[in-house]
Amino acid sequence: MHYRNTTVVITGASSGIGLEFARFFAREGARLVLTGRREAVLAQVRREALDHGAASVDLVVGDLARAPVASEVETIAAERDVLVLVNNAGFSHYSAVADAETRPLLDMLAVQAQLPVRLCHAALQRMKREGRGLIINVGSLAGRVAVPGSALYVATKCFIERLSETLALEAAPHGVVVQALTPGYVRTDFHRDVENYRERRRNRGLIRWMDADAVVRCSMRAAERARRRLQSRPGRIPRRRDVVIIPGTANRFLAAISPFVPRTLVYRAAAARPRM
């Protein structure tokens, strides 16, 4: 698909995976709407995107857990002719539920569960009318395990994967592709609160760190494959491998074997895992 002059909304585009999506769509000549909290960083991303060919770049700066900021993005998704939506914004908050303040827990629900639902709902109306569109919801392989200290993170990522699979089935008859992008470990700013996080990003066994641009290339290849398949035979049921995208061979292997590993062993591994 050519994305020239297509309006693309990307939440969390100031670094990491969202930034790489912004770079991809900028090179395609799209009209970008980018969000993030770090205003100066986003302004730099805007300059870079325009230099690389973006037709226009609008910024929404602020915390997406706050109602006015979330509503602003939702209005854009509903009122502009958005044909690509990337629900990517996410953060880590490490604490056992019993020891946590309620605010970060609820903020995580707002940013990583509620907002993607609101933006999908808003953008899908237009996409259905146009008979085309692409929604990428960024989940995580962490959404398939239990990780002490990250209950809300794990729960929201599990939610995103199931939500996206169901939306993919609902949207396919209208020519709209929905993808659950489900990465393992990725080198981004995500783990910046962890002490010495750069040094700790080492491959160990089946734990393989990926670069964000490789994750985005994998996502976009899969999106194109899914779009062609839908176009070649409208009404076709999407294949799961075109809906749930797991970048990286080691990650796909882990995902394939994990249903056969006794859950208690998975619990043990999760409990023994150092924080990352």
Ligand X SMILES: NC(=O)c1ccc[n+]([C@@H]2O[C@H](COP(=O)([O-])OP(=O)(O)OC[C@H]3O[C@@H](n4cnc5c(N)ncnc54)[C@H](OP(=O)(O)O)[C@@H]3O)[C@@H](O)[C@H]2O)c1
Q: Give CA–CA dist 141/252, Å, rounded.
A: 10
Nearest to 93 by CA among 140, 152, 16: 152
What x/- string results for residues 24 through 63 when contact with ligand X is judged by CB under 6 A? -----------xxxx--x---------------------x
Assess contact for 250 and 184: CB atoms under 8 A: yes
Judged on CB neighbours under 10 Å (0-12, 13-18, 19+), 81 is middle
- Specify the stretch interacting with ligand X by CB under 6 A; choose among 97-105, 144-152, 170-178, 185-193: 185-193
**Total residues in contact with ligand X, by rule CB under 6 A:** 29
Sheet holding 176-181, edge to edge: 56-61, 31-36, 7-10, 82-87, 133-138, 176-181, 244-245
Q: Give CA–CA dist 224/1, Å, rounded.
A: 7
Considering the complex, state which of residue 201 and residue 225 has its C-beta at the smaller distance from ligand X.
201
Residue nearest to ligand X (CB): 16
- Specify the stretch interacting with ligand X by CB under 6 A; choose among 73-81, 94-102, 126-134, 178-186: 178-186
Paired with 74 in beta bridges are none
Can residue 88 be called a binding residue for ligand X (CB under 6 A)?
A: yes
Can residue 223 be called a binding residue for ligand X (CB under 6 A)?
A: no
Considering the complex, state which of residue 17 and residue 82 has its C-beta at the smaller distance from ligand X.
17
Among 18, 116, 133, 238, binds ligand X (CB under 6 A): 18
- Specify the stretch interacting with ligand X by CB under 6 A; choose among 73-81, 169-177, 184-192, 216-224: 184-192
Nearest to 243 by CA among 216, 222, 229, 215: 222
Which residues of this protein are in contact with ligand X, per CB under 6 A?
12-18, 35-38, 41, 63-65, 88-91, 111, 138, 140, 183, 185-186, 188-190, 212
